[in-house]
Amino acid sequence: MCIETLTVRTEIALSFRVFLSFDQLCEAIEVSMTMSNSFYGYSFILTFFMLLLHAWSQLTPNFYDKTCPNLQNIVRNEVQKAFNKENRMAASLLRLHFHDCFVNGCDGSVLLDVSGGEKFALSNRNSVRGFEVVDSIKSTVERACPGVVSCADILALVARDSVVVTRGPSWTVLLGRRDGFVSISLNGTDAALPSAFDTLDAIIDKFKRVGLDEKDVVSLSGSHTIGLARCAAFSNRLFNFENTGSPDSTMDPYLLYQLRKLCPEKGDQNKTTLLDQYTEGRGCINIFDNHYFQNLLDGESVLSSDQALLSSSKTSYWVQIYNDDNDRFLDDFADAMIRMGNISPPSGSRGQIRKNCRRVN
C-alpha cells in the first residue's frame, strides 16, 4: 500500500475522531515498523503520529462520555439552581466564559486568584462575577468525577446552560480543554478584552485577533439582551459625551432622562440597570431574544459600544438582519459561541485539570 493511501486513510479516520486504544496504537506501530526499512516507511510513521497528535489536540463533544458521563446533567442542574436563586446570574456566567476566552484562550485563567492577574484587571474588577457558582459546580463535579473535568470546560458548559435557562438557543459544546497555569497581567487583560468605552474599530480589531469577524461582533453583542450594566459603564454618555459638553445625541431622550435619574453626576457608579430596557415592567426579564437589536435601531441601547454597531455598514447590516429574524440571530449566536469556545484551548498534554478553579495544582 503506498504512503499516499495510508496517509489519506489515517486522515479520514482521525477526521471522524476514531481514537485508538493503547493496544490498537501498539499494533499500528508494529505494522508501521515492518515498513520502516524504506524511506516511505519512516515517512508514514512520522505522518501517522503527527496526525494522531493533531487529533488528540482537538475538542470533541463526547470527551467525558466514559470518564464523567453525568457531567452535563450536573452542570445543567447547578446552573438552574443558581438562576432560580438570582436570575441575573445567567448573564454573569455567560460573561465569564467570554472574558476567559478573549484573554490567552479558553483556559479557565479568569478564575485564578492571582495578584495582578486577569480577575483584578480594570475590565473585570467589580464587573465579572459568579465565581462562587463556578466553585460550587466544580465541587459537585469533583465529587462525581474527581480529577477529570477542567474548569475551562465547566465555563463552556455553564455559558451554554445559562443561555438555555433564559430561553435562548442550545448548542453542542465541544470539550477537552485543559486549565492554564498562567493568569495574564492587568494591562494584558485590558488590552485584549473589548470594552464598553472602545470604538467600534477597536472592538472589531480585538475580535479579529482571536479569529472572529464583524458578524461575530454583532451576534455575540446580542448577549446583551440579558443582564445588567453599572452606571460606571455608561454614565459617560449622559452628561459630557466625548468632551462635547452634551449627552450622547444617539440616545433616546426618554432613556436619557431615566438613566440620568439613576446615575446623577457624582452619584453611585455601582447602581445597575437592565441592558435591554424593553424588558423593564413587561414581564420578559431575562428572555434571550433579538429585542436587543430593536433597541439599537430605536436609540435605546445603554452602552455606547452597543450603539456604535450602527456606525458601520459592516455591522449595521447584521443588526438589521437579526432585528428582522430572531431565528437567524439565535442560530448565528450559537455558532459564534462554538467558535469563541475554540480560541486557543489548551488540550492534549498541555495544561492541567485543576482541583480548585481558583489556583493551580
Q: Binding site for Ca(2+): what residues are annotated?
A: 100, 103, 105, 107, 109, 118, 225, 276, 279, 289
Q: Per the annotation, where are the binding residues for heme b?
A: 224
Binding annotation for substrate: 194
**Contact by Cβ (8 Å): 347, 59:** yes
Q: Quick one: which of 87, 117, 108 has its CA closest to 154? A: 108
Q: Give me the catalytic one of 54, 97, 99, 291.
A: 99
Assess contact for 324 and 200: CB atoms under 8 A: no
SS3 for 343? coil
Beta strands per DSSP E along the chain:
228-230, 272-274
Q: What is the dihedral of CA 127, 150, 194, 83, to 10 degrees?
A: -40
Closest CA relative to residue 275, chosen from 154, 94, 119: 94
**What is the Cα–Cα distance from 356 to 141, expressed in whole angstroms?**
11
Region of 167 on the Ramachandran plot (φ > 0 left; ψ -120 to 50 alpha; else beta) = left
For residue 99, indicate whether it is catalytic.
Answer: yes
- Using only C-alpha atoms, the chain has a radius of gyration, in whole angstroms, of 23
- Of the candidates 177, 169, 102, 89, the one whose C-alpha atom is nearest the C-alpha of residue 137 is 89
Report the catalytic residues. 99
